[in-house]
Every structure is written in C-alpha cells, then in structure tokens.
Amino acid sequence: MPEGDTIHKIANFLAPCLDQQPVVDLRLADVSAARKCIGRRVSDVVARGKHLFIEFDNGLALRSHLGMHGSWHRYPGGAEWQRPRAQLSVALVTAGWEYVCFNAKEVEIVRIPSVRERIVHGRLGPDLIADRIDPGIIARRAREFVEADELLADALLDQRVASGIGNVYKSDILFIERFAPDTRMAEVDDDDLGRCFATAAELLRRNLGGGRRVTRFEGDGAGSLWVYGRGDLPCLRCDTPIASRRLGRHHRGTYWCPSCQASTDASPDVDPKEGRPA
C-alpha cells in the first residue's frame, strides 16, 4: 500500500529519468488538459505527502494520488504492460520510455501555483520526510483538524495534520508509542502527539532506501513490522496474540497488541473495574 515513503521513492526514481525530457504523449481521462502538456518538458518531479507532482515547463503539473491500489511502472517504448489497459490512469511517454500509472485514486492537471497554494492553505500538512518537523505546529494542526472525541489513529492518518503516514505506519506507531488503538485525542497531550509524529518521521526517513518497509529493525528474522498484518500472531515483544479490527473515520484495518497497548481510560462501553484485557 503506497505511503509517504513510497511516493518519495517514486519521485526520487522519476526525477532523474524525466528531468528536461520532452513529453511525446500524455494520456489521461481529461484529454484536453493532457493535450496542453504534450510537447512540453518535465521541469521537476516532487512528492508532497502522498501526492506526486510531475511539473512541466508551462506552469502546469500532473498531480497523482495512488490511493490504496495505485502504482507507477516504467516500460521501454512499445513493451507490453503488466496490467490491463482498463486499469490505466496515466501514460506519460518520452523518447524511448513509457511511464504508466495504474489504478490511481486521483489524477489531474493543476496549475503549479495552485499546488503551492494548497499547501500554504493547509490542505496538506508538513511533509514528514521533506520538512523540518516542528512538534508544536503538528500538535496545533492535530487539534484543529481532529476532534477531541476522535481517535489519535485518525490524527496520524489525517494528511492535513502532517503528510506521509499511511495505514501500515499508523498501527506500528501506536504500538511503538504504546497507545491503545481506541485512544482519543482528548486523552493525549501535545507532547504525546509530537512524539508520535517524530517517530513517524524517523520511520519514513529510514525507509527511503528501497526494499521492504521496516518498522522493526531488530534484524532477527522474526518480522520487519511490529504489528501490522500480524493478526493472531504472537506479539514480537510479549507473545500476546495481535488483535485487529477496523476502526476510525474510514474504518481502516488496525492491528495492536492488547498487552503492550492496553487501554488506560474507562470508556463508557467498558466497566472501569474490569478494564481491558492486560
């Protein structure tokens, strides 16, 4: 699943390939917008959070968001694609190469100033990989965009707070920082928020090198992720079986260790004397 580090890796790969290349052909659903970019040169390739911007020398940019299932492929001109044409979102053709994006969630041609504008106007929070992280600013944005009775997990995923964290990192950050998956914003202070996002930034940066995603760096072969995708398997810290459930704003799959991340609050649906399983 593409996360902020994935998009930076794609941008790092594409930037030198596409730099100053003339666009021989550009195919996407909005044909008239695409036509404006054919014959132009690529001036830059930039990742912002989970968005990839391929900028052209006419002040326009191709913005893509891969969502859950999108991917970029590069093929030598005329080579057979690994996915059916029906899944095509964008094909950008240069002399000799085809850069093909399949199953993107969003693709559009935007004006480059409006890209900057969106960032300035807060549609995207600071990029956890590219920007210097100010914990105070991130905490303030978290309070602004996520209500007190909403989940900390939702703040981690909200790209307006800070951009880059996807669903895999969400579960693993909560594990590393030992927050129960149902922890609400009202239960965390600004230091907690700053710590979670600092951990996220560190994990995203450590994963820029390529290869599989790693949140657990023990190197003992037991697992490269702490909890994500490990439903019913033993916790790598305490052997308790990992639990999983869909939760939060978007009902995203969430994994946690019921022992390492025991709830401390007495939420209304739990008898405070009983608490949560420890």
- What are the catalytic residues? 2-3, 50, 252
- Provide the minimum distance between the beta carbon of 228 and Zn ion in the complex, in angstroms, as a whole number: 14
In the block, residue with structure tokens 């950050």: 173
Question: Which helix (H) or strand (E) is 74 found in, with range?
Answer: strand 71-76
Structure tokens at 272: 């405070």
Angle between helices 135-145 and 190-206 (to 10 degrees): 110
- Provide the minimum distance between the beta carbon of 264 and Zn ion in the complex, in angstroms, as a whole number: 15
Structure tokens at 170: 């969400």
Strands 60-65 and 71-76: unpaired
The length of the chain in residues reads 278
Residue 103 vs 224, nearer CB to Zn ion: 224
Query: Helix (H, G, I), strand (E, B), or coil: what is residue 57?
Result: coil
- Provide the minimum distance between the beta carbon of 155 and Zn ion in the complex, in angstroms, as a whole number: 23
- Provide the minimum distance between the beta carbon of 274 and Zn ion in the complex, in angstroms, as a whole number: 20
- Provide the minimum distance between the beta carbon of 239 and Zn ion in the complex, in angstroms, as a whole number: 7
For 70, list phi and psi in degrees, rounded to 5: -80, 160
Residue 89 vs 263, nearer CB to Zn ion: 263
User: Could you tell me if 240 and 277 are in contact, meaning their C-beta atoms sit under 8 angstroms apart?
Assistant: no
Site residues, Zn ion (CB under 5 A):
235, 237-238, 240, 257, 259-260
The 3-class secondary structure across 159-170, one letter per residue, is CCCCECCCHHHH
Residue 128 vs 176, nearer CB to Zn ion: 176
Residue 26 vs 260, nearer CB to Zn ion: 260
Structure tokens at 252: 């995203």
Residue 157 vs 257, nearer CB to Zn ion: 257
